[in-house]
Amino acid sequence: MKILKVDHIGIAVKSIDEARKLYEQLLGLHYEGSETVEEQKTTTAFFPAGDTEVELLESTSPDGPVAKFIEKKGEGIHHIAFRVENLEEALEELKKQGVRLIDEKPRIGAGGAKIAFLHPKSTFGVLVELCER
């Protein structure tokens, strides 16, 4: 498999409106817009930073995964996403090597990207997303 770059870093926040003040006004990043991924009960907001992006994540519902994450661990880094050349191939290869996958098959994330999560039990506690776009 080939990792091309860190595609984005996902940060769980209670309110994108509150958090974007830091990223836009204080850090001077450009706000690229928001998108709700209904199936994952999550609203995302992207801020390009050099060759990668910051992705703020806000739950659309108190029982969504991002709300549950904040309840358990507080606001903070939720996942790191690596862009790969071929997601299906990467998943196949990792599975063969014994890496536990949350998603055996790609699903659709923000911006229409194909994404899949690896299980944090196999990745030293960090939620790793692989994406292809």
Contact set with ligand CMX (CB under 6 A): 10, 37, 40, 42, 44, 55, 57, 65-66, 69, 78-79, 81, 102, 109-110, 113, 115, 117, 120, 125, 127, 129
**Least CB distance to ligand CMX at residue 107 (A):** 9
Any residues with CB less than 8 A from the CB of 79 and at least 6 apart, and which? 9, 10, 117, 126, 127, 128, 129
Nearer CB in complex with ligand CMX: 17/36: 36
**Least CB distance to ligand CMX at residue 37 (A):** 5
SS3 for the chain, per residue?
CCEEEEEEEEEECCCHHHHHHHHHHHCCCCCCCEEEEHHHCEEEEEEEECCEEEEEEEECCCCCHHHHHHHHHCCEEEEEEEEECCHHHHHHHHHHCCCCECCCCCEECHHHCEEEEECHHHCCCCCEEEEEC
Nearer CB in complex with ligand CMX: 26/83: 83
**Least CB distance to ligand CMX at residue 32 (A):** 13
Nearer CB in complex with ligand CMX: 54/81: 81
Nearer CB in complex with ligand CMX: 39/50: 39
**Least CB distance to ligand CMX at residue 84 (A):** 14
